[in-house]
Structure 1
């Protein structure tokens, strides 16, 4: 199977660590904007009241369908599986966010 991830993506799957130490996984075309929305309380209902959030993982894809399939796969996984994904990945340097929105171990 071909890996749908790409070096120059237009579609992203991201994982946030919320203030209550839970994970939130989402899809976006603009990681920086979306993380700020979550942190400002304007993101998903799940993350409201669980701020501040930290971006701990990002994957880029060529297509929306590939990204959304991966989002579903991550969301369906156990907490341990999500912790493994976060430990393996991180946040690419191309995602330009203030340090306050990034986890200490992201990068």
Structure 2
């Protein structure tokens, strides 16, 4: 059985990079060593793996990776910190003017 990993790296400029791989250790080493000069992480090293989730279905892994890539930095931080209550709030409310915040 093959496993796939969706991961989030924190880069040296405090940005996040989200990726997918079937060999997490090898892929993290590639990011850290700067294997690909054209990659997002090349000039943002060192990188730190802040989150990874294992999947046994590549389709689910690809779906999850694409979903996370569309998230705000705040949502990624909530996931990394396992703050699922905040993640739910951030998923419901796109900005401070959302109706749930009126009158607060």
Q: Within the alignment, does 1:61 sit opposite 2:55 as a pair?
A: yes
Q: Taking structure 2 as the reference length, what is the TM-score of the superposition?
A: 0.74
* TM-score calculated relative to the size of structure 1: 0.72
Structure 2 gaps of 5+ residues are 84-104
Instruction: Indicate yes or no: 2:46 matched with 1:39.
Output: no
After TM superposition, where is structure 1 displaced by more than 3 Å over at least 4 residues in a row? none
Say which one has the larger Rg.
Answer: 2
Length, aligned pairs only:
82
1:20 to 4, 8, 13: 13
Structure possessing the higher relative contact order (Cα contacts under 8 Å, 6 or more residues apart): 1
Q: Whose helix proportion is higher, 1 or 2?
A: 2
Q: Which runs of 5+ in 1 are unaligned?
A: 1-7, 90-107
